[in-house]
Structure 1
Amino acid sequence: MKKAICHWVVGALGTWAVAGAQAQDIKIGYTADQSASGVAELGIAGRWGFEAAIEDINKAGGIMGRKVVGVVRDDQGTPPKAIQTVQELIDSEKVSGIVGPANSGNALAWLHIPQQKKIPVVVPIGTATEITTRYAKEPQNYLYRISMVDREQVSLLGAYAVKASKDKKIAILADSTGYGQGGIKDATEILALHGVKPVAVEKYGPKDTDMTSQLNKIKAAGADTVIIYGIADGAAQVLRSMEKVNYMPITLGTWGNLSSLLPKMAGTKLAEHLIMAASTTEDTSARTKALGQRVRVNFPTLTTFPCSAQAYDSVMLLAAAMKQANSTDGDKVAAALESLNKTEGVIKTYDKPFSKTNHEGLSVSDFYLARWKGSEVVRFEDDVYKSLKPADLKK
């Protein structure tokens, strides 16, 4: 029933937005899973950050004096539906830019469409490296990102692990999906840059509920620090298994663990044991706190705040590029994105965030560590984190 309601709400609001649009309005599309998979929580958070940015742009006079209309679509977590929504946004709704999606796999399924149609896209959630590099050798690459690239967040986790581990005995535990196996590769390479070889590398199935066998091997290898590479439900099972074998090493994980699935499945006490990478948290600044309060009006159970902040900033950068180009023409907007003047975002003030060869608006130097505290995610800082220097963040 909840899924049906969510579909109706997204569809109804998307239709309302289109019906209210006039010929002179500038349309920006948003597409992400908001109903069908474990990533839907991220997509919903991003959607309300997207809506907040459009509201602020219109309050400030719009773009070139024209009202901005957001066109929202739910890709339901599947590549075929994601392809359909992007085609609809570009061909039927005539959007001038797109923000989305949440799933990297969905993005990789439809990137060719805006690239061919010359429609700028800013990805606010998906982290797969190839999203912004697939068309890097083309005369113009139309794919940009304000999110945490997989290897970049591993750079932060790896640097922390090397400093935190007493004897540099670090283990990697990842799920057996492509995501997890890519994480093993990245984490192993990052640790090697620090002159460290993992004492153990173990895998688990995405539906496994007992990881005691893998953890016993890691424990026997003497690891005092473990990097988990998987999404929230798998990490929750790892934490529960750690408790079973009475083994609680320093435990690090990726930003997918911001999902409320982690405390729901592991319990709040165990969830607080995991240290995560994040681009921002609600308690970072007055601007992030204010956006969090606005998003909670529509999404009271918000836990994936970075998705809201990243989507908000993605819209702001698209709007700033259109203003700078004094046009919604895709080529001109893309060129403006690559030479963008200072633009105020929620995460930071962006000063030429993109270039012809770099379409990543955030880097490891922008990231933080975070931790669950009860039902909220807060910024995490200890003496180890404070001791990290830019030279430690190897990539």
Structure 2
Amino acid sequence: MKKAVCQLAVCVLSAWGATAVHAQDIKIGYTADQSASGVAELGIAGRWGFEAAIEDINKAGGIMGRKVVGVVRDDQGTPPKAIQTVQELIDSEKVSGIVGPANSGNALAWLHIPQQKKVPVVVPIGTATEITTRYAKESQNYLYRISMVDREQVSLLGAYAVKASKDKKIAILADSTGYGQGGIKDATEILALHGVKPVAVEKYGPKDTDMTSQLNKIKAAGADTVIIYGIADGAAQVLRSMEKINYLPITLGTWGNLSSLFPKMAGAKLSEHLIMAASTTEDTSAKTKALGQRVRVNFPTLTTFPCAAQAYDSVMLLAAAMKQANSTDGEKVAAALDNLGKTEGVIKTYDKPFSKASHEGLGVSDFYLARWKDGGVVRFEDDIYKSIKPADLKK
């Protein structure tokens, strides 16, 4: 997978032509892994959504009559490189805003830089809760997000699990990384808000390929619904292990399973068994369908469409704030983001998406369920999902 992603990234990177930049142009930066890990697939999708938004802004006359230029950097999936790319964008390129990254760990490594230098950032992919809360008590927080926050994903998955399980026998199976352990904490706390205690909580190593031991314990506990908290390769191994022991309970997972790695490892038919959280899918509306078609021109193997849509909307919100502030000054743009008027996006029409108290532009009420079908990701709705009410989405 890594080799394939790297080869794809080389093709993408080679397609980036040099852009003539003039002193009056407004620069917006994009930084994400686009070559070095499984997350690169998400970063590449986000990159093309970012470019599509800039193209649309310029077609509509730019910002304050000025052309917008996107400056793209590949952070190669590592914190040191990610820090370097952000420093380059701010100090050398003089960007007026940043969209990125894909990896939460990279974001957490460099958040202090734009915060200190007063450059607004909209994160379109990374989901770690702390990204937008670390500087929440400062006089101005410069970190915003249009993505799926971990706990809010679990809020939707938990609501579905409680309604889907006949006897409220729900189990949690997560990888042993910080990501997975955070998921156990969130899922356990959210189920408790529903008055449900998991019948089993099991862990697996991120490199494990056989989870039958953990699954036999979960099966023995009587679980008819399992929430998996891990990235695509681990979740695929879980489903393969389920198949080995002829145990296929209702199975729920997070949006990381949108990666093409999941169906490649689990197999096309088995991958359809997993129900995932998503912020949008290509088949949601005419707007999402159109953006998907545009992104596929540059990224034919796109499966992580929400990353493209979230990056597109991130740029649109930054641009709207600059227009509202009539300025590219970071303090003024951030103040405008905190009190932004209606802005058309691909995912939705945003109306005051941020405030001083919250820099999350999407919440659980915006999220959907999705699943793999015929090699692509489609929106999923059944009678259980349709029965979920706002009061069921506990956080």
Q: 1:271 to 1:12 in 2, by over 3 A?
A: closer
Rounded to whole Å, the distance in 2 between the matches of 1:20 and 1:50 is 18
SS at structure 2 position matched to 1:19: coil
Report the Cα offset of residue 7 of structure 1: 8.6
8 Å contact kept, 2:5–2:41: no
Native 8 Å contact 2:125 2:148 kept in 1: yes
CA shift in 2, pair 1:327/1:141, >3 Å: same
Partner of 1:63: 63
Change (3 A) 1:11 1:219: closer
Q: Distance in 1 between matches of 2:2 and 2:154?
A: 35
Is the alpha carbon distance of 1:120 and 1:17 closer, same or farther for their aligned partners in structure 2, counting shifts above 3 Å?
A: farther
Aligned position for 2:192: 192
Question: 1:68-95 deviations in whole A, cap 9, x for unaligned?
Answer: 0000000000000000000000000000
What value does the CA root-mean-square deviation take over the aligned residues? Answer: 1.8
Shift of 1:20: 1.1
What is the distance in 2 between the residues matched to 1:336 and 1:100?
Answer: 20
Structure 2 runs not aligned, ≥5 long:
none
How many equivalent pairs are there?
395
CA contact (8 A) 2:100 2:125 kept: yes
Q: How is 1:303-382 mapped onto 2 (pairs within 5 angstroms)?
A: 303-382=303-382
CA contact (8 A) 1:10 1:73 kept: no
Q: In structure 1, how many angstroms separate the alpha carbons of the residues matched to 2:375 and 2:35?
A: 22
Q: Deviations over 1:26-72 (max 9, x none)?
A: 00000000000110000000000000000000000000000000000
Counterpart of 1:13 in structure 2 is 13
Report if the CA contact (8 A) 2:343-2:351 is conserved: yes
2: distance between equivalents of 1:160 and 1:79?
35
Residues 13 and 377 of structure 1, relative CA distance in 2, 3 Å threshold: closer
Q: Give the secondary structure class of the aligned counterpart of 2:136.
A: coil
Report the TM-score when normalising by structure 2: 0.97
3-state SS, counterpart of residue 69 of structure 1: strand
**8 Å CA contact 1:17, 1:69 repeated in 2:** no
**Secondary structure, counterpart of 1:309 in structure 2:** helix
Counterpart of 1:210?
210
- With over 3 angstroms needed to count, the CA separation of the structure-2 counterparts of 1:20 and 1:10, relative to structure 1, is farther
Deviation at 1:3, TM superposition (A): 6.1
CA contact (8 A) 2:100 2:123 kept: yes
* 1:374 shift after superposition: 1.6
Equivalent pair of 2:122/2:144 in contact (CA under 8 Å): yes
Q: Residue 327 of structure 1: CA displacement?
A: 0.2
- Contact 1:226–1:251 (CA under 8 A) maintained in structure 2: yes
Residue pair 1:14, 1:73 contacting (<8 A) in 2 also: no
Q: Please say if residues 9 and 34 of structure 2, whose CA atoms lie closer than 8 Å, have aligned partners that are also in contact.
A: no
CA distance in 2, matches of 1:329, 1:107: 22
Taking the aligned partners of 2:22 and 2:58, their CA distance within structure 1 comes to: 14
CA contact (8 A) 1:368 1:380 kept: yes
Structure 2 vs 1, CA of residues 212 and 43 (structure 1 numbering), >3 Å: closer, same or farther? same
Cα deviation, 1:101-148, whole Å, max 9, x if unaligned, reads 000000000000000000000000000000000000000000000000
Q: Is residue 9–residue 44 contact of structure 2 (8 Å, CA) maintained in 1? A: no
Gaps of 5+ in 1: none
**Structure 2 CA distance for partners of 1:384 and 1:38, relative to 1, 3 Å:** same
What SS does the aligned partner of 2:379 have?
Answer: strand
| Cα contact 1:11–1:73 (8 A) shared by 2 | no
Is the 8 Å Cα contact of residues 369 and 380 (structure 2) preserved in structure 1? yes
4+ residue segments displaced more than 2 Å:
1-19
How far the C-alpha of 1:99 sits from its partner, in A, is 0.1
Of all paired residues, the percent bearing the same amino acid is 91
* Residues 1:348 and 1:313: Cα distance change in structure 2 (over 3 Å): same
Measured after TM superposition, the shift of residue 254 of structure 1 is 0.2
The alignment's TM-score, normalised by the length of structure 1, stands at: 0.97
- Report if the CA contact (8 A) 1:13-1:72 is conserved: no
| Match in the other structure for 2:87 | 87
Show CA shifts across 1:150-205 (max 9, x none): 00000000000000000000000000000000000000000000000000000000
User: 2-side partners of 1:219 and 1:194: how far apart?
Assistant: 22
Aligned equivalents of 2:5 and 2:388: distance in 1?
46
CA–CA distance in structure 2, aligned partners of residues 12 and 326 of structure 1 = 34
The farther-off stretch of 37-46 and 13-22 is: 13-22
Separation of aligned partners in 2, 1:234 and 1:9: 23
Q: CA deviation at 1:13?
A: 5.9
Task: Give a deviation string over 1:250-276, Cα, whole Å, max 9, x none.
Answer: 000000000001100000111000000
Please state whether the residue corresponding to 1:161 is helix, strand or coil: helix
TM-aligned CA deviation for residue 380 of structure 1: 0.2
On the 8 A contact 2:169/2:222 being kept in 1, the answer is yes
Instruction: Sort the Cα spacing of 1:18 and 1:356 in 2 relative to 1 into closer, same or farther, 3 A.
Output: farther
Q: Distance in 2 between matches of 1:196 and 1:56?
A: 47
